[in-house]
Amino acid sequence: MKSGRSAFLLDVLVGFLYPVISLQETSNKDLSILAKAAFELLKWRIFTNDYLRKAVSILLSLAEDPN
């Protein structure tokens, strides 16, 4: 992730935002730990404008999610 060769994975990374954030507080302890560790990696990723728009859209939909 830090090598710079992962730029082509941005679609995948942005797609993982919703499940990673929503699964951080779940009854399955292992899944919760995995989601928290994945978020630690994702929060340091720099997103370009196109991917930033998608990421913000996902974050806003999470804010409206009652779960």
pLDDT of residue 10: 72
17 lies in some domain: yes
CA distance 56 to 40: 17
pLDDT of residue 5: 58
Percent share of the chain, pLDDT over 70 = 84
Closest alpha carbon to 34 in 47, 19, 51:
19
Total tally of structural domains belonging to the chain: 1
pLDDT (mean) for 7-34: 81
2 lies in some domain: no
- Residue 50 is part of which domain span? 7-64
Closest alpha carbon to 57 in 4, 5, 22, 15:
15
CA distance 26 to 33: 9
Please provide the average confidence, as pLDDT, over all residues in the chain. 78
Q: Write out pLDDT tens, residues 24-34.
A: 888 889 988 98
1 lies in some domain: no
Q: Write out pLDDT tens, residues 49-66.
A: 888 888 888 888 877 777
